Amino acid sequence: MAPDRTDEANGVIGLPTETAVERILAADPGRERDEVRSALARVTTDDGVTREGIDGLVSDVSKRLATAETRAELARSAFEDARSAGAAVADLDVVADRLDRYESTLNDVEARVPELGAELQRVSNPEDDADAVYEAVGTLIQITSRADDVQRAADELQFDLEDFEAWLDSHERRRRAFEEDADVVADALESARAATENLDEETWLEASLRVELVPVLVSDLRAELDELRVMAARDGVDDGWCAALEDRLDDLNSRADAVRSMLEEAGDPAWQGEHRERIATFERALNVTEPPIEWGTVYAEFERARALAEPYSPGSTRD
């Protein structure tokens, strides 16, 4: 244990909390008083900053990190189960792509645990110095938050993996999930159509960009439907159910063309001149995608394109 040096000019351990606050502020006047006071409250016992308070915080953080590590281990086990469950259909992109995404998420979660552990070790026994104590306490608080993030990510991944296994096991569940995705595209298209009823420049641009999403998402759904048909066949399910879904995708593309024409007719020529290149750039960014696509990434591209306050530079729409 590092010695407590409250008799030295810059020590804070053993001081009343308010005195420690003043000493930390004196060491760096740019710090916020309320933030310093709030941080030191985490290591205060009997109205003073104590080594026991710091050790208690370290212990609490260690427990939170251990919980995160356990949840990551459970997520790893769930992933291995899901990979085994999907082995028979892992030749299909609709399955392999999901497994790749889950594994990428899992690898990120697992990598963050030892990183946080190393950071915890680094600050767990600060010397009695105003800067060192305050920075250590701040780092410990950050580690707590980041460990909670890891735990949440691991829990969410485990839930997604369980849902994935249920999806693998049930043709009906796969069909419903597909229809829900088609509903998302239909809702985006309806939002664009409704915008034609009360247009301003920003609304017109957003609706025009939203229409450009539809063909890309429909193309992805077509590719998925082809592979769901293969999965259904392997499960011995008649593929007659596909016809209605194919018709719905055709209808979405047709409606997108109609809404695009409505927007072209309703848009002020000045808006079209101002934003023509932005829309064309967005369309080109989408056109490089090939199924299977990551819908979240495509929608993030849409958010970049619609942000008029910022120059638009496409990111990567590949998974």
Q: Model confidence over 130-189: pLDDT tens digits?
A: 999 999 999 999 999 999 999 999 999 999 999 999 999 999 999 999 999 999 999 999
Of 286, 285, 278, 283, nearest to 305 by C-alpha is 278
The length of the chain in residues reads: 319
- Give the pLDDT confidence score for residue 316 in this predicted structure: 54
Name beta bridge partners: 44: 49
Q: How far apart are CA 112 and CA 32, in angstroms?
A: 29
Q: Which amino acid is at 296?
A: G
Alpha carbon 137 to its chain centroid, in Å, reads: 28
Checking if the pLDDT of 225 tops 60, the result is yes
User: Range with the lowest mean pLDDT among 162-166, 252-256, 295-299?
Assistant: 295-299
* Phi-psi sector, 16: left (phi>0), alpha (psi -120 to 50), beta: beta
3-state secondary structure of 196: coil
Give 309 or 61, the one with higher predicted confidence. Answer: 61
- Give the pLDDT confidence score for residue 197 in this predicted structure: 87
Of 78, 220, 274, nearest to 160 by C-alpha is 78
Alpha carbon 263 to its chain centroid, in Å, reads: 32
Q: Which amino acid is at 116?
A: L
Output the DSSP codes for 268-282. Answer: -HHHHHHHHHHHHHH
Residue 97, number of CB atoms within 10 A of its CB: 17
Residues 6 or more apart whose CB falls under 8 angstroms from that of 229 comprise 239, 242
Mean pLDDT, all residues of the chain: 93
Q: How far apart are CA 243 and CA 265, in angstroms?
A: 33
pTM for this structure? 0.85
- Give the pLDDT confidence score for residue 8 in this predicted structure: 62
3-state secondary structure of 45: strand
Supply φ then ψ for residue 94, to 5 degrees: -60, -25
* Phi-psi sector, 236: left (phi>0), alpha (psi -120 to 50), beta: left
150 neighbors 72 (Cβ within 8 angstroms): yes
Q: Is the preceding peptide bond at 215 cis, omega within 30 degrees of 0?
A: no
